[in-house]
């Protein structure tokens, strides 16, 4: 999708569709209070064209509510689409991001190939134009993605051209910077979504490594992709244990961002779970919905997308990403419940932790254990991992918030600030000795599940064993990485969750 900025008067923009935002300005509450929709633009021609429908009472400007006007008087646009943001005092950048996605998704099934989206005139100290502009272009790019990659009769319904129409009285330089950042972040999130969308027979661990290497070459990242020999050399017993049941070899993907002139300061380690298909192994899953287990590499895909954005945004901080990719399959060579595996050691003179395997379907924490240790060995001073780790996080938080755990309040505070920019929903979950006690093993150091209760917390404590005292954040995105039903602003399928927040967390350094 071609993306552009324009500062032309709205009445003069020639386009198939002009999208403008509205909000409900009614502050009163109660049964008698009626919505009072207002357009978020001062343009007289647009205001006049929309006056009748706003006055009719039919349109209430609810969040992502739309109404379409054909051949609007006084405009060169062929159509005028009004998209709602909900209550005016509650409007945030995330609402604008969703509204832009809604406008794009409205056009796609109607064969409309280009639109202009009016930047809402709601700028304030808390919500500057630059922030809103970035959110708008991100939302448009995300809205253009569809998961129908392999349909034999697939028709290209992509929007060919998206223009963000801005008021003239703005800081144009700041707006251009923000707009370009939004394009980078939106396209990187769609890269994440496209990887997650790939079926397991098309995206094996080896192919995921190839895709990561191609991306790295395109944007100037360092990249190494290793397989079984490297796992043996590093004594990654936990990672290898997961992969040993599959005919497909594992892939250890390492991406490096080293900005020119930066030789000291923190080194941020991004670690992603890359299980390209998860049957559960010997502890096999139910057949119901197993086809969705191609998404079990969403954490790894988020890290690959984040590294693309980081390479293009160029923050002044060193970053290493480690993605541990494997299939978890049942076979004669697969690990079994009751086996004991030895994880990678941080140093040759320090023994690796021994792990009793209780359930082979708790495999993500095994690959992450070795990935976290390797990131530390490569010099990471701060860690963030992402994984579709536990069904328990969806039980705890529903399909709205993803879970975040951290052993360091300052590191978490940076992530919490990042959420204000990314607009993503994460909820901090607890760690503690009581959860750690649940994963103590009688035969080894720890076991890979802690029982039914607090499953997301015991999984996080398992990873905490390997993060140790290194400032660390764990993102459990199992409940939000896949969208089961289409929303007005985004298609059914992979969400690309966590990528935006990881990027902003990195930029905070």
Do 143 and 231 lie in a common domain?
Answer: no
Q: Which of 308, 318, 365, 414 is catalytic?
A: 365
Do 119 and 67 lie in a common domain?
Answer: yes
Mean pLDDT to the nearest integer, 55-74: 97
Do 304 and 429 lie in a common domain?
Answer: yes
- The pLDDT tens digits of the residues spanning 445-503 come to 999 999 999 999 999 999 999 999 999 999 999 999 999 999 999 999 999 999 999 99
Confidence (pLDDT) at 30: 66
Confidence (pLDDT) at 155: 76
Do 62 and 202 lie in a common domain?
Answer: no
CA–CA distance, 341 with 328 (Å, rounded to integer):
15
Q: Please choose, from the candidates 130, 185, 499, 501, the residue with its C-alpha nearest in 3D space to the C-alpha of residue 313.
A: 185
Do 227 and 374 lie in a common domain?
Answer: yes
- The pLDDT tens digits of the residues spanning 292-311 come to 999 999 999 999 999 999 99
- B/e letters for 211-239, b = 16+ CB within 10 Å, e = fewer, are bbbebbeebebebebbbeebbeebbbbbb
CATH code of the domain covering residue 436: 3.40.630.10
Question: Which residue, 138, 170, 202, sits at the end of a domain?
Answer: 170
Mean pLDDT to the nearest integer, 278-290: 97
Question: Which residue, 111, 142, 170, sits at the end of a domain?
Answer: 170
Number of domains the chain is built from = 2
Confidence (pLDDT) at 214: 98
Do 248 and 354 lie in a common domain?
Answer: yes
Mean pLDDT to the nearest integer, 13-35: 88
Q: Tell me, yes or no, whether 307 lies in a domain.
A: yes
Q: Is 92 a catalytic residue?
A: no
Mean pLDDT to the nearest integer, 318-325: 98
Q: Which helix (H) or strand (E) holds 465?
A: helix 455-467
Q: Please choose, from the candidates 163, 120, 176, the residue with its C-alpha nearest in 3D space to the C-alpha of residue 4.
A: 163
- The pLDDT tens digits of the residues spanning 330-367 come to 999 999 999 999 999 988 888 999 999 999 999 999 99
Confidence (pLDDT) at 324: 98
CATH code of the domain covering residue 6: 3.40.220.10
Mean pLDDT to the nearest integer, 66-81: 98
pTM: 0.97
Do 378 and 274 lie in a common domain?
Answer: yes
Confidence (pLDDT) at 49: 97
Do 335 and 463 lie in a common domain?
Answer: yes
Do 160 and 203 lie in a common domain?
Answer: no
Confidence (pLDDT) at 32: 67
- The pLDDT tens digits of the residues spanning 428-456 come to 999 999 999 999 999 999 999 999 999 99
- The pLDDT tens digits of the residues spanning 359-414 come to 999 999 999 999 999 999 999 999 999 999 999 999 999 999 999 999 999 999 99
Q: How many C-beta atoms lie closer than 10 Å to residue 22's C-beta?
A: 29
CA–CA distance, 254 with 222 (Å, rounded to integer):
8
Do 202 and 92 lie in a common domain?
Answer: no
Do 277 and 131 lie in a common domain?
Answer: no
CA–CA distance, 113 with 144 (Å, rounded to integer):
11
Residue 441 domain boundaries: 190-507
Q: Tell me, yes or no, whether 383 lies in a domain.
A: yes
Q: Is 447 a catalytic residue?
A: no
Query: 27: exposed, middle or buried (C-beta count within 10 Å: 0-12, 13-18, 19+)?
Result: exposed
Confidence (pLDDT) at 162: 98
- The pLDDT tens digits of the residues spanning 98-117 come to 999 999 999 999 999 999 99
Q: Which of 285, 425, 428, 492 is catalytic?
A: 285
For residues 252, 225, 373 and 222, what is the CA-based torsion angle, rounded to 10 degrees? -150
Confidence (pLDDT) at 349: 85
Q: What is the mean pLDDT of the chain?
A: 96
CA–CA distance, 340 with 446 (Å, rounded to integer):
10
Do 237 and 202 lie in a common domain?
Answer: yes
Confidence (pLDDT) at 215: 98
Pairwise pLDDT comparison (347 vs 289), residue with the higher score: 289
Band (pLDDT 50/70/90 cuts) for residue 122 is confident
Q: Tell me, yes or no, whether 33 lies in a domain.
A: yes
Confidence (pLDDT) at 211: 98
Question: Which residue, 102, 137, 170, sits at the end of a domain?
Answer: 170
């Amino acid at each position: 999708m071609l993306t552009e900025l324009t500062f032309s008067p709205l009445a003069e923009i020639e386009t198939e569709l002009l999208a403008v935002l509205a909000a409900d300005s009614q502050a009163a509450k109660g049964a008698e209070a009626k919505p009072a929709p207002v357009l978020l633009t001062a343009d007289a021609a647009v205001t006049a064209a929309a006056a009748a429908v706003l006055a009719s009472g039919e349109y209430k400007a609810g969040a992502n509510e739309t109404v379409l006007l054909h051949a609007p008087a006084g405009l060169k646009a062929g159509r005028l689409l009004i998209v709602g943001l909900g209550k005016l005092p509650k409007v945030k950048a995330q609402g604008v991001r969703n509204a832009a996605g809604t406008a794009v998704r409205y056009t796609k099934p109607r064969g409309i190939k280009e639109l202009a989206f009016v930047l809402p005139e709601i700028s304030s100290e808390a919500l500057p134009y630059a922030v809103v502009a970035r959110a708008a272009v991100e939302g448009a790019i995300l809205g253009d993605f569809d998961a129908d990659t392999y349909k034999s009769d697939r028709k290209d319904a992509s929007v060919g051209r998206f223009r963000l129409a801005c008021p003239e009285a703005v800081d144009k330089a700041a707006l251009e910077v923000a707009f370009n950042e939004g394009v980078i972040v939106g396209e990187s999130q769609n890269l994440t979504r496209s990887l997650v969308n790939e079926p397991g027979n098309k995206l094996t661990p080896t192919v995921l490594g190839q895709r990561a290497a191609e991306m790295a070459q395109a944007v100037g990242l360092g990249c190494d992709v290793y397989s079984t020999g490297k796992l043996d050399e590093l004594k990654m017993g936990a990672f290898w244990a997961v992969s040993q049941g599959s005919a497909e070899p594992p892939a250890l993907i390492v991406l490096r961002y080293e900005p020119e002139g930066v030789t000291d300061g923190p080194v941020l380690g991004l670690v992603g779970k890359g299980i390209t298909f998860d049957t559960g192994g010997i502890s096999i899953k139910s057949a119901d919905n197993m086809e969705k287990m191609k998404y079990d590499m969403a954490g790894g895909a988020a890290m690959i997308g984040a590294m693309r954005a980081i390479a293009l945004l160029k923050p002044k901080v060193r970053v290493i990403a480690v993605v541990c990719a494997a299939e978890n399959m049942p076979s004669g060579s697969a690990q079994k419940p009751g086996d004991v595996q030895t994880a990678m050691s941080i140093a040759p003179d320090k023994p690796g932790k021994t792990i009793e395997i209780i359930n082979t379907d708790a495999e993500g924490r095994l690959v992450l254990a070795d990935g976290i240790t390797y990131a530390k060995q490569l010099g990471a001073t701060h860690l963030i991992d992402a994984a579709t780790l536990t069904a328990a996080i969806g039980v705890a938080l529903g399909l709205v918030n993803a879970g975040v755990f951290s052993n360091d309040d300052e590191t978490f505070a940076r992530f919490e600030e990042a959420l204000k920019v990314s607009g993503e929903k994460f909820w901090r979950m607890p760690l503690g000795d009581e959860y750690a006690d649940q994963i103590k093993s009688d035969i080894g150091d720890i076991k890979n599940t802690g029982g039914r209760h607090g499953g997301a917390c015991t999984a996080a404590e398992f990873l905490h064993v390997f993060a140790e005292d290194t400032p660390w954040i764990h993102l459990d995105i199992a409940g939000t990485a896949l969208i089961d039903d289409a929303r007005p602003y985004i298609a059914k399928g992979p969400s690309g969750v966590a990528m935006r927040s990881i990027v902003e967390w990195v930029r905070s350094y």
